[in-house]
Structure 1
């Protein structure tokens, strides 16, 4: 027997046609709680799915729940909040922001290699400051996490005539076209030691937390740059601050941070070799639209009893 589907209110998302065709009841809500359901005349014990859910929602209080769709690409918050109820499938919006995240990483690479902040400061002073800077062509890019964002970044980097290598979670062939693929702890250290730019696009899981610590940073070239665009916590930020201050690496571009918003007292704000952006790399209208398309497609698949997209492997955490 079909149950009720709750949809966290999402601007621009209309599921009425799917709901009508399937005979399902889809209820839009601002807050997902048993009390909110009761206030709307909805039986909370009949809720079978919650779309665009948040870890803060009272998911565990719906006994008939069988499917959760997270409104974000990263799902680490679900596991930090206590995990997903047994027997419930979790899907995500992974891939919706891959294109702008890759663009953001490329922008940070260009800004760091060309010391773009120096031009911006000179512009504020109305000063004509010409200097010798780097270029991406011929440099080696190491991508930590070869998923949607990593693959898109690899294509963009190859268009800039860069050599590209990437670290995967699981073993695979040694190459993906022109991209060299590495695996495991030894692969990580080789990637760090041989890359001019290291970009972190991996998800945050139990296995990836502080994946790059003091020992790993010490293997990087002193001329290399580290860029984080997926999740904070993958890099040990205390160790990174030491490496940046002591010249262990040349600089960093940080869009994802362990604590967000980045605390006012964080040293990253004032380090001259760091560019900070406020986890803003994928905040585009197109990302939101792709997210809506994923929800609508998955809802259609759900009511038609077809396999869902972006099913999270609970054991791996992504």
Structure 2
């Protein structure tokens, strides 16, 4: 059995990967030159490589999202795809709460005053009693629900599966999307980017939100239509936005999002923690052992659904 691991890894990590794989032969090969003989690949497998991989049975994405690796060819294949979903849930939820708080209290105004050494006291908001609408209730959405309840917020959660969720006051289905928009003081996107979610926040969606509401995206850009979001912000259809995930990354220097006074931009950095990396490696090591022992894998992706 051969396993190809793409990407850079220090020697200590390589040792842990080899040990977890047991008797399987592990090759650290960024180019995946020997993919014809590979039974598994950790990392991206572009279509030209996939076409050569006659023995391939398993691909593992080191990222929680799989939109970057789930090509049409991989979707059509019988190769099992797993992900590191859940590895960054905690810091992503923290990032979402940070952006919500910054919007609610207009923290950029304080930062501007500090840079000017100006004592600027003003009446700002508080989150207690406000409604947060979570578009997506995966790992990060569920963790965010608990954090929002700790701030005494009312939590609405929209999820495709309809499974009950802790810390959610009302669970909504896809048909309730207009209600999520209309009732939320903050709408937070924690869903993966899939065919079903791409462009879901269009002009009509932003027009359905409260003019006092904020929009926060921490999972994937592309779920919001950038042109529609810019128009809504400029026209005052929504009050502001906190964006860690963007439709184009890196965000181009000439993007209007950088300079809009009611927008907070962070560079898709919310889950970049040592703990995220550690949890992701733990998931990989667990799956390597399972694969070597021919046991069911963890975090199997529903390729048709995209997560």
* From 176, 179, 191, the counterpart of 1:190: 179
1:108-165 CA distances to partner (integer Å, 9 max, x unpaired)? 0000000000111111101111111001111100000000000000000000110101
Identify the residue that residue 105 of structure 2 maps to in structure 1. Answer: 114
Measured on the aligned residues, the alpha-carbon RMSD in Å equals 1.7
Q: 2: CA distance between counterparts of 1:294 and 1:246?
A: 45
SS at match of 2:69: helix
Query: Are the equivalent residues in 2 in contact too, given 1:196–1:221 (CA < 8 A)?
Result: yes
* From 217, 224, 227, the counterpart of 2:206: 217
1:261-294 CA distances to partner (integer Å, 9 max, x unpaired)? 0111111111100000000000000000001000
Q: 2: CA distance between counterparts of 1:242 and 1:187?
A: 24
Shift of 1:82: 4.7
1:244-265 CA distances to partner (integer Å, 9 max, x unpaired)? 0000000000000111001111
Query: Are the equivalent residues in 1 in contact too, given 2:145–2:168 (CA < 8 A)?
Result: no
Is 1:93 aligned with 2:84?
A: yes
Change (3 A) 1:191 1:4: same
Query: Are the equivalent residues in 2 in contact too, given 1:197–1:227 (CA < 8 A)?
Result: yes
SS at match of 2:156: strand
TM-score (norm. length: structure 2): 0.94
Pairs within 5 Å for 1:221-236: 221-236=210-225
Q: 2: CA distance between counterparts of 1:170 and 1:223?
A: 30
Structure 2 residues not aligned, in runs of 5+: none
TM-score (norm. length: structure 1): 0.91
Structure 1 residues not aligned, in runs of 5+: 38-43
Pairs within 5 Å for 1:114-193: 114-173=105-164, 176=166, 178-184=168-174, 186-193=175-182
Bigger mean CA deviation after superposition, 300-309 or 102-111: 300-309
Count of residues in correspondence between the two structures: 303
SS at match of 2:230: helix
